[in-house]
Structure 1
Amino acid sequence: MALIIAGERSGVGKTTVTLTLLSCLSQRGLQVQSFKVGPDYIDPMFHKHVTGRACRNLDPVLTSESYVKKCFYNYSNLCEYSLIEGVMGLFDGVSTLSRGGVKKRIENYASTAHIAKLLNLSVLLVVDCSRLSGSVAAIVHGYRSFDKEIQIAGVILNRVGSDRHLSLLKNALEPLQIPIFGVLKRQDNITISDRHLGLVPTAELPELNQLIDKLVNLGDCFDWESLLPLLSNRQSGKSLEQTEDSLSHSISPSPHPPISPSPPLPIPPSPHPPPSFPKIAVAYDKAFNFYYQDNLDLLHLGAELVFWSPLEDTELPKNIAGMYFGGGFPEVFAQKLAENTRARNAVKAAILSGIPTIAECGGLMYLCKQIVDMTGKSWEMVGVLPTTAVMDKRLTLGYRRAIALQDSLLVDAGQIIYGHEFHRSRLISDSNKPLFQTYRFDCDEFTGKEGWVSPSNLHASYIHMHWGNSREIPQRFLDKCRVVNSAF
């Protein structure tokens, strides 16, 4: 069994409550597996920092309902305790699912409530009480009665102002007979920095450990005697053998191996990978760190992943057969990226020499001629793409249904993929041969044409993809990398 931490809306303190619970469990020496609902990179970084285990995303839009189930059961069974952080408000999701040419109406798809029903798990509702007293009962009653299939195990009262305030809240909730699992007072000294795309990533927070210590000190605010049984996986009665697929499969180094139909285990890098395994350089530093762990796991099962820093390293790793640039904040570190001329030139030379390369969002920006930052300053970048990325106040956000307009490193013309956009940059000129034609996921609203496939060994797009339910995508990339590797 596990609990889902849900909010009555965004900004009520879900992440703070989740990190506090994870920190307290980890400080007790307990193994806990965390999950995050939705297309999020930064919250999982905080989870991993606390637990030491990679957080897994549960997103049926980017993957599928079946994959969400497999991922949750496979990884939750590896630990004694599991905790899921929800997304936005409990019932906030998309309302129309369009796949396979068949459109059907599903309310609150990919919401926290959807995941709770899909996994048959109870919800712990976080309520921001900073401007509430008696009205808290109406809010909690509404959430508990809105969908009878959702089991709200109890509430966490957050941002309580005083003992008198708490007394008013408890008196209001008493007729509902709903358990109060925790009470957090207003904590002016506990804040997680944010900026234009959400929280500041963990690598940029030197004071993070001190913050975690403060969260651990809030442990006494929770009713652990009631919480621990709900968090324990011993309650579920499930074993790895009962999940839908075995975890024993892997990507083999053969020319056209099938990718495992179930999520792979997080495997540590092999000190002696097979010679047939190509080396893939993965950009990972403060500028580039938006990666789904499942995507890295899939690549790792058929390649040697070599992490390097476009900020700090002046050359690429030796004998690479592929490159992967994830998203991140290249605009924040544009000056330092620009000053590392040797790294930029090495990346450009590798791409022009035919090295298969994936560039998502921030990675795409890095491959442009320039980045114009939030202050209007222009910085030289790799220059493979004949355009400039300009930071804008407008946020581009949402799930996308994307139709490939031509063959690329990862997809075939006509193929439909499902992804997510989340950026404040725009390109001043579009590709004359765009990669995707994109639509909103929940309707047929056209959102544009985007992406670059020139040179032909490059797949550059603003669309973030999770490959869990599309194993042919990383397989295709690995096959191209093996061709390069065989030439060494």
Structure 2
Amino acid sequence: MVYIKVKCNVPRIMITAASSNSGKTTITTSLLKAFSMRGKNVSAYKSGPDYIDPMFHREVVKIPSRNLDEFMIGENNCKYVLCKNSKDADISIIEGVMGYYDGIGTNTSCSTYELAKLLDCPVILVLNCKGMAASVCALIEGFKNFREKSNIKGVILNDISKGLYGYYKNIIESNTDVKVYGYLPYLQDCKLESRHLGLVTAQEIGNLEDIVKKLGEASLKTIDLEGLYELALNSSVLEYEESNIETVGKTKIAVAMDKAFCFYYRDNLDLFEQLGAEIVEFSPLNDKELPKDIGGLYLGGGYPELYMKELSENKSMLKDLKEKINMGLPTFAECGGYMYLMESFKDENAIEHNLVGAIEGQSNMTKSLENFGYATLVANCDNLMCNKGQSINVHEFHYSTSTNKGSSFTAKKPQSEKRYDCIIADETKFMGYPHFHFLGNIGFARNFIEKCTEYSTENCYNNSKNRRTQL
């Protein structure tokens, strides 16, 4: 693979906070909409592995939002993804994850702070000042000085009134050297609901367009967009190495895409396309069978547990999936997609829902997160994606468990001695709870597309042979 050194100038800011549930997504969404309403081309990004926040970003800017995750894709690829997808943007807005300094274990590894430092990105801290006066300055100073090069350049105050804004702005700017870039008032009808994996998905909110419009209109009135834009324009030039990804063959990949299966990294799909695949979307909820003439299958994560009745009642889809997978259709399934391919799911009322049955086992929901967080997977055998001994970084985020987690890979938690077996994999199947970002190891994606291409070629030959026989 050939690597080319590239320099790029991306006007950018990062939105962060002291902790989760501080209003990062609301502020980010409002800024994306406000800048768009001002006629700016905006690109959006999310620090870390989260799927749901980028869905909200995409609904605003109408182009995919990307994940920037140092653990999963590495430092160089974080720069690559940002630069590649910001070429036509006037400003790029990156939403942080958790609290600014929260990383792996007891340090700041892979935190929003580390990403901001890597990207030399100006940072805006979202604050809720309720119950504080001058103490808010101590909070700001603490975040600004906790580590060197914090890059915290300003704050936006969340959920406060117009009357209190002037009071807090005066306190902060007279006691610190941090600029206050405005505020967002409390907007009851703009609240984004949550569930066990975070916010509900963007497509589940029927009035999302109205909510986003109200947020944008509020930001136009209360946030210093000109100041933020000027801050973004002063960002430094980035340098990275870009890999020359060549096509390995032509094939079609069926990708499950509906309310039940919607957790995908857009960069994974883009990489498949760069390698020669055509993405064909289908719905396990609504379609009766798989798309025609496909060479591979990709079932991502999502919320299948909420739609088990509908999924189990779509018998023709279940039958077609099982037949095609058992006949050797190259199949990659992660988390929710892996649950769907098992024999059944037992819900909270102990009702068993029969599913595809391409692999043995049953899944069910639990009360707590299972194997939550990052891990490094090492292959215990040759398989669809890689050879024995090869590795890739992944993450897990699920409340379900299963009776058959697989043993094709060993997972090792970072900064921990914890290890566990996972993944069911052979020459044509790769299924399990971990989520993958293939920029972390492009070889996994290349092997998958090569296998899908072989399957497509063999099927094309067999179909042609059958037609000649009939003639």
TM-score (norm 2): 0.91
Deviates more, 1:203-212 or 1:344-353: 203-212
Change over 3 Å in CA distance of 1:403–1:335 after alignment to 2: same
**Counterpart in 2 of 1:15?**
25
Give the aligned partner of residue 343 of structure 1. 317
C-alpha distance in 1 between matches for 2:208 and 2:294 = 34
Residue aligning to 1:244: 241
CA distance in 2, matches of 1:225, 1:70: 27
| 2:86 aligned residue | 76
1:452 is matched with 424
Cα-to-partner distance string for 1:222-277 (whole Å, 9 max, x where unaligned): 01221111234xx45759xx65337xx443245xxxxxxxxxxxxxxxxxxxxxx2
Cα distance change on mapping 1:237 and 1:417 into 2, 3 Å = closer
Distance in 2, matches of 1:381 and 1:323, equals 17
- The question of 1:385 aligning with 2:359 is answered yes
CA spacing shift, 1:450–1:244, aligned 2, 3 Å: closer
CA distance in 2 between counterparts of 1:308 and 1:150 reads 44
User: 1:365 is matched with which residue: 335, 339, 351?
Assistant: 339
User: How far 1:436 moved relative to its partner?
Assistant: 1.6
Question: Which residue of 1 is the match for residue 445 of structure 2?
Answer: 474
Conserved 8 A contact 1:3-1:124: yes
Contact (CA 8 Å) 1:83, 1:231: kept in 2 or not? no
State the shift of 1:482 in Å: 1.0
- Indicate whether 1:438 and 2:436 are aligned: no
Aligned residue for 1:60?
70
What secondary structure, in the 3-state scheme, does the structure 2 residue paired with 1:76 have?
coil
SS where residue 108 of structure 1 aligns?
A: coil
| Structure 1 residues without counterparts, runs of 5 or longer | 97-106, 255-276
Task: Provide the rounded CA distance (Å) in 2 between the counterparts of 1:74 and 1:243.
Answer: 11
Matches within 5 A, 1:67-146: 67-95=77-105, 107-146=107-146
Q: Give how far 1:113 is off.
A: 0.6
Identity, % of aligned positions = 36
Do 1:325 and 1:358's aligned partners in 2 also have CA atoms closer than 8 Å?
yes
Residue of structure 2 equivalent to 1:412: 387
Please state how far the C-alpha of 1:172 moved relative to its aligned partner. 5.1
Q: Distance in 2 between matches of 1:25 and 1:341?
A: 47
Q: Is the 8 A contact 1:136 1:173 kept in 2?
A: no
1:322 aligns with: 296
Q: Matched residue of 1:305: which SS?
A: strand
Cα pair 2:303 2:336 within 8 Å, conserved:
yes
Q: Which moved more, 1:68-77 or 1:353-362?
A: 68-77
Offset, 1:126: 0.6
User: Which whole-Å CA distance do the structure 2 matches of 1:201 and 1:140 have between them?
Assistant: 32
Using the TM superposition, give the Cα deviation of residue 77 of structure 1 relative to its aligned residue in structure 2, in angstroms.
2.7
Is the 1:135–1:172 Cα contact (8 Å) retained in structure 2?
A: no
Q: Deviations over 1:307-360 (max 9, x none)?
A: 000001001100111000011111011111011110111111110010000000
Deviation at 1:453, TM superposition (A): 2.0
Structure 1 distance, partners of 2:165, 2:235, is 37
Q: Aligned partners of 1:230, 1:375: CA distance in 2, in Å?
A: 54
3-state SS of paired residue (1:109) = coil
Q: Deviations along 1:417-449, whole A, 9 cap, x unmatched?
A: 210000010003444xx1221121222222x21
CA distance in 2, matches of 1:158, 1:222: 11
Q: CA RMSD in A?
A: 1.8
TM-score, normalization by structure 1:
0.87
8 Å CA contact 1:156, 1:183 repeated in 2: yes
What is the CA–CA distance in structure 2 between the aligned matches of 1:153 and 1:207, rounded to whole Å? 34
Change (3 A) 1:303 1:430: closer
Per the TM alignment, residue 165 of structure 1 is displaced from its structure 2 partner at its CA by: 7.0
Counterpart code for 1:371: F
2:375 pairs with 1:400: yes
Structure 2 residue aligned with 1:312? 286
Tell me how far 1:451 sits from its aligned partner: 1.6
Are 2:302 and 1:331 aligned? no
Amino acid at match of 1:364: Y
Find the counterpart in structure 1 of residue 222 from structure 2: 221
Separation of aligned partners in 2, 1:179 and 1:62: 33
Is it true that 1:49 corresponds to 2:23 in the alignment? no
Task: Give, in whole Å, the separation in 1 of the partners of 2:359 and 2:25.
Answer: 37
- 313-322 or 368-377: which moved more? 368-377
Within 5 Å, give how 1:139-154 maps onto structure 2.
139-154=139-154
Local SS of the residue matching 2:55:
helix
CA deviation after TM superposition for structure 1 residue 190, in Å: 1.6
Distance 2:37 2:408 in 1: 47
Aligned partner of 1:208 in structure 2 is 208
User: d(CA) in 2 for partners of 1:54 and 1:31?
Assistant: 13
What is the CA distance between 1:206 and its match in structure 2? 1.2
3-state SS in 2 of match to 1:35:
strand
Shift of 1:130: 2.7
Q: Distance in 1 between matches of 2:168 and 2:223?
A: 19
CA contact (8 A) 1:324 1:358 kept: yes
Cα distance in 2 for residues equivalent to 1:351 and 1:373: 25
Hey, what's the Cα distance between the residues in 1 that align with 2:148 and 2:395? Answer: 30
3-state SS of paired residue (1:217): helix
